[in-house]
Chain A
Amino acid sequence: MTQIRNFSIIAHIDHGKSTLADRLIQYTGLVSEREFRDQILDTMDLERERGITIKSQTVTLPYTDRSGQEYDLNLIDTPGHVDFSYEVSRSLASCEGVLLLVDASQGIQAQTLANLYLAMEHDLVIIPVINKIDLPSADVDRVKDEIENELGLDSDQIILCSAKEGTGIEAVFEAIVNRIPSPSGKKDNPLTALIFDADYDLFRGVIISCRVFDGTLGPGVIIRLMSNGAAYRVEEVGCFRLNREPRDRLSAGDVGYVIAGIKTVSDTRVGDTITLDGRPAPTALPGFEEAKPVVFSSIYPIASDDYHSLAEALEKYKLNDAALTYEKDSSAALGQGFRCGFLGLLHLEIVQQRLEREYDQSFIMTVPSVQYRFTLEDGHCISVDNPQYYPDPVVIRGSEEPFIQASILIPERYMGAVMKLCLDRRGENSRFTYPSPGRIEIRFDMPLAEVIVDFYDRLKSVTQGYGSFDYDFIGYRESDLVKLDILVNGEKVDALSIIVHKDRAREWGVRACDRLKDEIPRHQFKIAIQGAIGGKIISRSTVSPFRKDVTAKCYGGDITRKRKLLEKQKKGKKRMKIVGSVMIPQKAFVAILKSKEE
């Protein structure tokens, strides 16, 4: 009888998770060399480009061990970024063990730790694997020490491999079947299956990825989602090879997919429990949370005629991304658009790039904001994630902003630079631990707002790429907030307004004026750019006019050449937003988010 093992691979970004997954798939002969593309599991272009996994993909690997015992090994891939830590936790909840992958030259990083803690919370068997041992810079002994000392794992248990070269792969398989327990759970119990992912298929609707803990389900049964009570008739169940492979049923211990005529992924919730409508389980599986957006930004079409096309694109995109929220928004400067909520800044970037590339949209995205809380004089408490709805300052009694605990792991020599960066970002209550000689873990309480704009890029840059970063929410704290407006030739560009801590307002104002000055092309007249709080101007810059652009010749009747030049410029103008009589290029809205000192 076939045995089952359910496992994930967890690793810091770039430690070779996808490569190892590919090698495991290849080893089992699931895919021929011809079909093999590197990093099969990362299907989205964006993932390939950035080397990170965004949407998890699951695969069932057939494996026969030395004694001839057959196994179905369910590899549950996990997203590799802090924005998606809830998704990661649901994937891990579906496993009995994990491969903890550590780069042989980089050693343990912040995410390695964060992932390890997650795995320990779920009581998983942890198999430490040192990858990339073929690198010239590999320092296996040092990394072994780190694993033993910092993670408290037995160094005898460590497997050495090079996923790239394909060495040590068999040892990985043997460890999976020998050390990870087979799933418990009973077929005869009422059904409980954990949803850890959902995907959208144009023809079949939502494809739920789930782990069955108890009971069994197959085509024809009516299932119920326990968070909202919605019931659906199951059309098909099966397991993931590289494509979907239908089966008669999924039973306790299995990992696979369910198709049940569900229209959009928003109708399903990651972490929700599936049970049978006719014989429901008494309680849902633990750990369910609604995905809550923490970063907000508005998007506006570049050309206002494109509003409907953008609306359609969002609607289609949303079919496949339950975490994105959006609603209508409008701006005096930019017209009709949408206010969107994201799980984090990476999620925001993913949505932005996919809308641009896959849905061919061009739009302007405003400065991301967190959700602030204001207590008003009349006792009401309101949440504001859009600077447009910043209340009249005279009625504000108190204001609060969300804080996180940042955990930053760095070589000791960067401590000064990182301390400065965190203090500049209003970090407070710093704590240090020294997990191993030469390395330091810094923890800071920081406002989320300070982290969502270019913090990670700056950290990478001040630590020359060695710094790693992870964070957790710790709640709301009182904060002195103001609204900063940006005026272009006296006209407020509402899409550039931000809510910001009072002490940081001037800096932001100067930076915005400075950045806009570089990005707004010279016009025929002078352009004044100002930062203002209420009626008070706190920063300013000027775009001086250009004064001569004409070329002398336009004779002999060759008007066409000149007109073509103008037509080209005219096209460029279409990518601009007109505020009053000033043309602001799309990239100006992005530029004010970026640090200059890079």
Chain B
Amino acid sequence: MDRPGLYVHVPFCRTKCPYCDFYSVTSLSQVPAWLDALQREVLIYKDRFGTFDSLYLGGGTPTILGSRELTQLMGALFEDFSFTHDPEITIEANPDDITKEKTVLLRDLGFNRISLGVQSLNEKELQFLKRRHSAKQAEEAIEVVQASGYTNLGIDLMYALPGQDESVWMATLRRIVGYNPAHISCYQMTISEGTPFYRMLRHGRIQAPGEERERAFFLLTSAYLEENGYVHYEISNFAREEKTMSRHNIKYWRHVPYLGLGPAAHSFLNGLRWWNLRSVAGYCQALDCGRSPIEDRERLTEEQVWLESLFLGFRTREGIKRNLIEGSPNSGRTLREIQSAGLVTLEGDRIIPTRKGFILADSLPLLFSH
């Protein structure tokens, strides 16, 4: 039985990065109200989700929180929710927040996995991305985390940046592999509507590399990391070994229940998905007045669950169960077609995307839809 996961959204950043479309604000004065509201939200879901085996503090920038706030937050979570004896407890960290003291604090609060937002080890790229840290700071942060005894370190990187040269990307990747982290996430730059980068793209001030170059970057990245012993277990995720895959993230891809607390957080339980208001003020106000901070919800139909299973499955190395597509018209022929195009392989009763199949994961489900 898959246990549920718990997510807490910390919607604060010191500065906004121009590519990011996750919800966060820079007015840190709202932190106390948010923390207050969050503790009220915890009470709403107390006893409703069973025993969690993962906790993930994401953001925003969770490491922006000071020791008092983190302690208060973790105290509330552990008081009102139950966890297994060995939960995976992750915090997303910015290199400029990492000090020896901080890592000790995090360890004392129970965190056993740090996901470090390095993004690049090239100074120019870091400036372009408006990150607050330098390459040197990032490497020091990695060393500090490793020296403080964390074995489960994840490093987040970005590639296929506008104007990026493959050699620059590979230099970053090689250096990171040199540290031998347990987990590496390589996110291809996606320019989303509403971000500063999106406006720059529209005005022609930056240019996306385009389909063919993005594809080349992806294949190169995957090949290089697999040669170096990493398992490419999801489109953007690589793990040193099976047990260092992100236990928490996998739940999203398998329709395992999860509870998301905080503004804009999503939750899923028994076919129902709901999400909170995408506003710190709105979220706090609702909870202060004893109202629910939920913005909207949806009950998934059987067909929606099916479609999600398909597109989520094709994004992971697990693939999909073959019987999922058996009712589709022409499925046999289509399957042969994508098999001979080298996009999937058949393993037992599963259809597994290949490296080339991963980058078509968005459209593979449509081939089998009615």
Q: Which of A557, A578, A581 has the most CB of B within 10 A?
A: A557
Residues 305 to 328 of chain B near chain A (Cβ within 8 Å): 307-308, 311-312, 315
A534 interfacial contact with B, CB 8 Å: no
Residues of B within 8 A of A581 (CB): 330, 333-334, 337, 367
* Distance A559 CA – B256 CA, assembled complex (angstroms): 12
A502 interfacial contact with B, CB 8 Å: no
B363 touches A562 (CB 8 A): no
**Which one of A121-129, A203-211, A408-416, A564-572 contacts B?**
A564-572
A548 interfacial contact with B, CB 8 Å: yes
Residues of B within 8 A of A580 (CB): 330, 333
CB distance from B210 to the nearest CB of A (A): 9
CB distance from A578 to the nearest CB of B (A): 6
A548 touches B307 (CB 8 A): no
CB distance from A139 to the nearest CB of B (A): 50
B288 interfacial contact with A, CB 8 Å: no
Residues of B within 8 A of A547 (CB): 211-212, 215, 356, 359-360
Question: Given known contacts A525-B338, A553-B187, is B252 in contact with A566 (CB within 8 Å)?
Answer: no
* Distance A559 CA – B273 CA, assembled complex (angstroms): 9
* Distance A525 CA – B58 CA, assembled complex (angstroms): 38
B307 touches A567 (CB 8 A): yes
B212 to A, closest residue via Cβ: A547
B333 touches A563 (CB 8 A): no
Question: Given known contacts A548-B211, A573-B366, is B361 in contact with A556 (CB within 8 Å)?
Answer: no
B366 touches A570 (CB 8 A): yes
Question: Given known contacts A525-B338, A552-B188, is B363 in contact with A557 (CB within 8 Å)?
Answer: no
Question: Given known contacts A548-B211, A557-B252, A560-B266, is B330 in contact with A524 (CB within 8 Å)?
Answer: no
A304 to B, closest residue via Cβ: B329
Q: How many A-B residue pairs have CB under 8 A?
A: 117
* Distance A558 CA – B266 CA, assembled complex (angstroms): 6
Q: Which of A555, A566, A570 has the most CB of B within 10 A?
A: A555
Q: Mark A556-598, 1 if CB is under 8 A from B, else 0.
A: 1111101100110110010000101100000000000000000
Residues of A within 8 A of B360 (CB): 524, 546-550
B161 interfacial contact with A, CB 8 Å: no
A559 to B, closest residue via Cβ: B308
Residues of A within 8 A of B214 (CB): 548
B112 interfacial contact with A, CB 8 Å: no
* Distance A553 CA – B236 CA, assembled complex (angstroms): 8
B252 touches A545 (CB 8 A): no
A557 touches B362 (CB 8 A): no
A557 touches B190 (CB 8 A): no
Interface size on A, residues (CB 8 A): 29
A556 touches B266 (CB 8 A): yes
Question: Given known contacts A525-B338, A547-B215, A557-B265, is B365 in contact with A566 (CB within 8 Å)?
Answer: yes
Residues 165 to 204 of chain B near chain A (Cβ within 8 Å): 187-190
B117 interfacial contact with A, CB 8 Å: no
B249 interfacial contact with A, CB 8 Å: yes
Question: Given known contacts A524-B338, A547-B211, A570-B369, is B315 in contact with A554 (CB within 8 Å)?
Answer: yes
B210 to A, closest residue via Cβ: A548
Residues of B within 8 A of A566 (CB): 307, 311, 362, 365-366
CB distance from B119 to the nearest CB of A (A): 13
* Distance A556 CA – B260 CA, assembled complex (angstroms): 8
> What does DSSP make chain A's interface, helix, strand, loop or mixed?
loop
Q: Which residue of the partner chain, among A550, A557, A569, A570, contacts B361 with CB atoms under 8 Å?
A: A550
* Distance A526 CA – B340 CA, assembled complex (angstroms): 11
* Distance A554 CA – B363 CA, assembled complex (angstroms): 15
Residues of A within 8 A of B298 (CB): 560
Residues 264 to 313 of chain B near chain A (Cβ within 8 Å): 265-268, 273, 275, 298, 304, 307-308, 311-312
A570 touches B337 (CB 8 A): no
CB distance from B231 to the nearest CB of A (A): 18
Q: Which residue of the partner chain, among A551, A559, A573, contacts B362 with CB atoms under 8 Å?
A: A551
* Distance A347 CA – B279 CA, assembled complex (angstroms): 58
B307 touches A524 (CB 8 A): no
Residues of A within 8 A of B333 (CB): 580-581
Question: Given known contacts A554-B252, A556-B265, A563-B307, is B362 in contact with A545 (CB within 8 Å)?
Answer: no
B9 to A, closest residue via Cβ: A556
CB distance from A552 to the nearest CB of B (A): 4
CB distance from B295 to the nearest CB of A (A): 11
Residues of B within 8 A of A567 (CB): 304, 307
A524 to B, closest residue via Cβ: B360
* Distance A559 CA – B268 CA, assembled complex (angstroms): 10
A550 touches B369 (CB 8 A): no
Question: Given known contacts A525-B338, A581-B330, is B359 in contact with A550 (CB within 8 Å)?
Answer: yes
Residues of B within 8 A of A558 (CB): 266, 275
A521 to B, closest residue via Cβ: B363
A579 to B, closest residue via Cβ: B330
Question: Given known contacts A552-B236, A581-B333, is B252 in contact with A524 (CB within 8 Å)?
Answer: no
B341 touches A549 (CB 8 A): no
B252 touches A525 (CB 8 A): no
A552 touches B187 (CB 8 A): yes
B189 to A, closest residue via Cβ: A552
CB distance from A416 to the nearest CB of B (A): 44
A567 to B, closest residue via Cβ: B307
Q: Which residue of the partner chain, among A555, A560, A562, A569, contacts B366 with CB atoms under 8 Å?
A: A569
Residues 507 to 564 of chain A near chain B (Cβ within 8 Å): 524-526, 545-560, 562-563
B7 interfacial contact with A, CB 8 Å: yes
B58 to A, closest residue via Cβ: A556
* Distance A256 CA – B105 CA, assembled complex (angstroms): 98
CB distance from A532 to the nearest CB of B (A): 21
CB distance from B367 to the nearest CB of A (A): 7
Residues of B within 8 A of A559 (CB): 252, 266, 268, 273, 308, 312
Residues of A within 8 A of B235 (CB): 550, 552, 554
CB distance from B113 to the nearest CB of A (A): 15
Residues of B within 8 A of A550 (CB): 235, 315, 358-362
* Distance A570 CA – B306 CA, assembled complex (angstroms): 13
Residues of A within 8 A of B188 (CB): 551-552
Q: Which of A524, A526, A567, A578 has the most CB of B within 10 A?
A: A524
B128 interfacial contact with A, CB 8 Å: no
Residues of B within 8 A of A524 (CB): 337-338, 341, 343, 360, 363-364, 367
Residues of B within 8 A of A549 (CB): 359-360, 362-363
Q: Which residue of the partner chain, among B218, B249, B338, contacts A548 with CB atoms under 8 Å?
A: B218
B83 interfacial contact with A, CB 8 Å: no
B45 interfacial contact with A, CB 8 Å: no
CB distance from A484 to the nearest CB of B (A): 25
* Distance A335 CA – B364 CA, assembled complex (angstroms): 25
CB distance from B91 to the nearest CB of A (A): 14
Residues of A within 8 A of B311 (CB): 562-563, 566
B211 touches A546 (CB 8 A): yes
Question: Given known contacts A550-B315, A581-B334, is B249 in contact with A555 (CB within 8 Å)?
Answer: yes
Residues of B within 8 A of A573 (CB): 366, 369
Q: Using a CB–CB distance below 8 Å, which chain A residues touch chain B?
A: 524-526, 545-560, 562-563, 566-567, 569-570, 573, 578, 580-581
* Residue contacts A-B, CB under 8 angstroms, 13 given: A524-B360, A525-B340, A548-B212, A548-B359, A549-B360, A553-B190, A554-B252, A554-B315, A556-B58, A556-B266, A560-B266, A570-B307, A570-B369
Other A-B contacts than A563-B304, A581-B337, 10 sampled, CB-CB below 8 A, are A525-B337, A547-B215, A550-B235, A550-B315, A557-B265, A559-B308, A562-B311, A563-B307, A566-B365, A570-B369
Q: Using a CB–CB distance below 8 Å, which chain B residues touch chain A?
A: 7, 9, 22, 58, 187-190, 211-212, 214-215, 218, 235-236, 249, 252-253, 258, 260, 265-268, 273, 275, 298, 304, 307-308, 311-312, 315, 329-330, 333-334, 337-338, 340-341, 343, 356, 358-367, 369
Nearest first, the 5 closest Cβ-Cβ pairs linking A and B are: A557-B266, A548-B215, A525-B341, A552-B188, A581-B334
